[in-house]
């Protein structure tokens, strides 16, 4: 299975195209959505409580019950594995405090090296929550025909609020989760007092308390919304040649006039080590170099540097061969593309599914580029792309050559300093080429890898106590409170400094 790339596309206001599962015409579902409010696949059996952080801020008496921020959802059927997964969606939420650049946890992980701070890293498991929901083709919420062109409202929570006589199924006007009550002043439903106050402030700022819904840019706890579209990762470009790389790397590292008497007593390996420390703007991590090179795989002709998500479900084995890409930087197309060699999960991660005991494997990852769209207005995404920042195949080959040599422990060849430094600087700048419109307290990550149950267990109903394996009574109660949504695992790798 080739890697699928996810890209952010601004919502088309003129066509008013519904995102996620807002339309019952499931034949048109594809990709997913980024930011905004979740679009629930099962609109009736929702999580009973607002999703909150279970990380470090949950242990801080002044910051209890921090609501999680909705990041993205992805429609990814698995009916080839289980017919009850004919419809299947994954949802990702993150704590805006623990996952911010200024949080103590994030700083602790950034300061760790070579995975020597797993205790801090593991706490991210409570800061990121991944939910999976699935339904068979014949279900209570959607028509059996995906192109049904008649009135249908069973896919809406409001329908089930009336049908089940459960007012709390009227979704929160801010976050889109199950509500706790209705505000008589605003005549809207909210999940908590904080969101009730946030909506009122936004309405006053908008100078219109009757507008429905409030535009997202006025709601500080909600990320900007865009559509997530997917396409297959392109083949590596072939503009560059092996000869180009050899000519680049065979140049002398120093001109003769640059060598001093002190330098003459140093071995070539010492010189390489010294220059490498100052070269490449500090990047000597082979994993990082490979990441940069992979972002430039399409070249200028098929520019994919603004990809937000990478999807490739459940490898059969870590070393499984693939005939899709046979490039030097693609050792394993079905594992996360890590940003750095630090802060990677231990061998025992992820744990097996707590519902059925089946192993979990990697399914998709969220890239740092997604932050660019979450933290800025999607309507402002019309900046002209600067194709001069796209890596050439030769520059990409330089990164791969450096990655290979660093990983093997070999010295970098003479003549590599300037080319390596320029290629890395350009690669960094090429990732969107513009800064994130946020601040030090904004969401931040390097990448988030999502691991899911390979049995895709569940039939779409509320979880029963007998389905949960080796969990405490308290955990069983919490998991049952998630309704028809089952919890999966995530690993957050911090961003580069």
Proportion of the chain above pLDDT 70, given as a percent: 68
pLDDT at 189 over 90: yes
- Classify each residue of 372-383 as buried b or exposed e, where b means 16 or more C-beta atoms within 10 Å of its C-beta: bbbbbebeeeee
Give pLDDT, residue 243.
43
Q: Please name the helix (run of DSSP H) or strand (run of DSSP E) that holds residue 407, with its range, or none.
A: helix 393-408
DSSP state of 172: P
The most confident of the ranges 100-104, 129-133, 147-151, 209-213 is: 129-133
Give pLDDT, residue 431.
62
40 — pLDDT class (breaks 50, 70, 90): very high
Measure the CA–CA gap between 34 and 91, rounded to whole angstroms: 10
Greater confidence, 253 or 318?
Answer: 318
pLDDT at 130 over 90: yes
The most confident of the ranges 213-227, 252-266, 294-308, 411-425 is: 213-227
Greater confidence, 71 or 255?
Answer: 71
277 — pLDDT class (breaks 50, 70, 90): very low
pLDDT at 106 over 80: no
Residue 99, exposed/middle/buried by CB under 10 A (0-12, 13-18, 19+)?
buried
Residue 282: how many other CB atoms lie within 10 Å: 14
Give pLDDT, residue 413.
63
Greater confidence, 434 or 458?
Answer: 458
Measure the CA–CA gap between 3 and 6, rounded to whole angstroms: 10
- Average pLDDT of the segment spanning 180-189: 93
Report the mean per-residue pLDDT for the chain. 77
Residue 473, exposed/middle/buried by CB under 10 A (0-12, 13-18, 19+)?
exposed
Task: Give the residue from 176, 165, 203 showing the smallest Cα distance to 187.
Answer: 203
**410-437: per-residue pLDDT in tens?**
666 666 656 656 666 666 666 654 434 4
pLDDT at 335 over 50: yes
**CB-based contact 318:332 (threshold 8 Å):** yes
Residue 290: what are its φ and ψ, rounded to 5°? -65, -40
Give pLDDT, residue 193.
92
**CB-based contact 123:76 (threshold 8 Å):** no
- Average pLDDT of the segment spanning 354-362: 93
Between 76-80, 113-117, 368-372, the lowest mean confidence (pLDDT) is in 113-117
Greater confidence, 438 or 46?
Answer: 46
Give pLDDT, residue 317.
42
Give pLDDT, residue 99.
86
- Average pLDDT of the segment spanning 248-256: 38
**CB-based contact 403:327 (threshold 8 Å):** no
Greater confidence, 122 or 352?
Answer: 352
Cα atoms in the 13 Å half-sphere on the side-chain side of 481? 12
441 — pLDDT class (breaks 50, 70, 90): low
- Average pLDDT of the segment spanning 466-470: 76
**76-102: per-residue pLDDT in tens?**
999 999 999 999 999 999 998 888 877
293 — pLDDT class (breaks 50, 70, 90): confident
Give pLDDT, residue 237.
60
- Average pLDDT of the segment spanning 187-192: 93
pLDDT at 291 over 80: yes
- Average pLDDT of the segment spanning 390-416: 67
First to last CA, the chain: 34
Measure the CA–CA gap between 430 and 295, rounded to whole angstroms: 9
- Average pLDDT of the segment spanning 358-371: 94
Cα atoms in the 13 Å half-sphere on the side-chain side of 178? 20
Task: Give the residue from 297, 268, 275, 257 showing the smallest Cα distance to 399.
Answer: 297
Measure the CA–CA gap between 446 and 444, rounded to whole angstroms: 7
DSSP state of 263: H
326 — pLDDT class (breaks 50, 70, 90): very low
Give pLDDT, residue 159.
94
Between 74-88, 200-214, 240-254, the lowest mean confidence (pLDDT) is in 240-254
Greater confidence, 133 or 424?
Answer: 133
- Average pLDDT of the segment spanning 42-48: 96
Q: What are the tokens at 50? A: 């607002």
pTM: 0.82
Give pLDDT, residue 63.
53
Give pLDDT, residue 82.
94
**CB-based contact 88:139 (threshold 8 Å):** no
pLDDT at 162 over 90: yes
- Average pLDDT of the segment spanning 155-165: 94
pLDDT at 273 over 70: no
Give pLDDT, residue 61.
56
- Average pLDDT of the segment spanning 259-264: 44
């Amino acid at each position: 299975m080739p890697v699928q790339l996810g890209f952010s596309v601004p919502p088309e206001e003129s066509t008013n195209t519904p995102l996620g599962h807002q339309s019952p015409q499931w034949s048109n579902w594809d990709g997913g959505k980024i930011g905004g409010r979740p679009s629930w696949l099962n609109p009736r059996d929702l999580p009973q409580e607002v999703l909150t952080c279970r990380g470090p801020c949950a242990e801080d008496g002044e910051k209890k019950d921090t609501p999680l921020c909705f990041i993205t959802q992805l429609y990814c059927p698995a009916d080839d594995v289980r017919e009850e997964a004919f419809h299947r969606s994954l949802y990702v939420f993150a704590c805006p405090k623990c996952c911010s650049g200024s949080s103590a946890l994030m700083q602790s992980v950034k300061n760790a090296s070579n995975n020597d701070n797993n205790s801090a890293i593991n706490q991210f498991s409570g800061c990121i929550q991944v939910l999976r929901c699935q339904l068979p083709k014949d279900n209570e919420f959607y028509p059996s025909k995906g192109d049904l062109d008649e009135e249908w409202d069973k896919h809406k929570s409001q329908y089930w609020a009336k049908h089940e006589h459960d007012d709390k199924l009227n979704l929160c006007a801010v976050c889109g989760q199950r509500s706790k009550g209705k505000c008589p002043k605003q005549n809207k439903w909210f999940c908590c007092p904080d969101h009730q106050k946030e909506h009122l402030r936004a309405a006053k700022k908008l100078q219109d308390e009757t507008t429905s819904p409030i535009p997202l840019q006025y709601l500080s706890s909600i990320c900007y919304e865009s559509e997530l579209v997917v396409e297959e990762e392109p083949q590596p470009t072939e503009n560059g040649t092996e000869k180009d790389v050899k000519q680049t790397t065979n140049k002398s590292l120093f001109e003769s006039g640059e060598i001093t008497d002190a330098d003459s007593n140093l071995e070539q390996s010492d010189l390489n080590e010294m220059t490498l420390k100052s070269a490449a703007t500090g990047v000597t991590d082979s994993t990082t170099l490979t990441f940069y090179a992979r972002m430039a795989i399409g070249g200028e002709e098929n520019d994919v540097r603004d990809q937000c998500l990478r999807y490739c479900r459940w490898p059969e084995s870590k070393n499984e061969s693939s005939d899709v890409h046979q490039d030097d930087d693609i050792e394993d197309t079905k594992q996360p593309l890590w940003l750095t060699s630090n802060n990677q999960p231990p061998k025992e991660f992820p744990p097996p599914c707590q519902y059925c005991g089946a192993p979990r494997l990697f399914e998709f990852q969220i890239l740092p580029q997604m932050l660019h769209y979450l933290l800025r207005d999607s309507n402002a995404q019309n900046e002209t792309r600067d194709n001069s920042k796209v890596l050439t195949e030769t520059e990409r080959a330089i990164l791969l050559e450096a990655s290979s040599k660093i990983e093997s422990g070999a010295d970098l060849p003479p003549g590599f300093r300037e080319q390596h430094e320029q290629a890395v600087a350009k690669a960094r700048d090429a990732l969107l080429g513009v800064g994130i419109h946020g601040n030090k307290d904004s969401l931040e990550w390097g990448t988030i890898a999502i691991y899911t149950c390979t049995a895709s267990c569940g039939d779409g109903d509320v979880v029963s106590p007998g389905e949960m394996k080796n969990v405490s009574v308290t955990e069983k109660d919490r998991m049952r409170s998630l309704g028809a949504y089952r919890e999966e695992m995530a690993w957050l790798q911090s961003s580069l400094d």
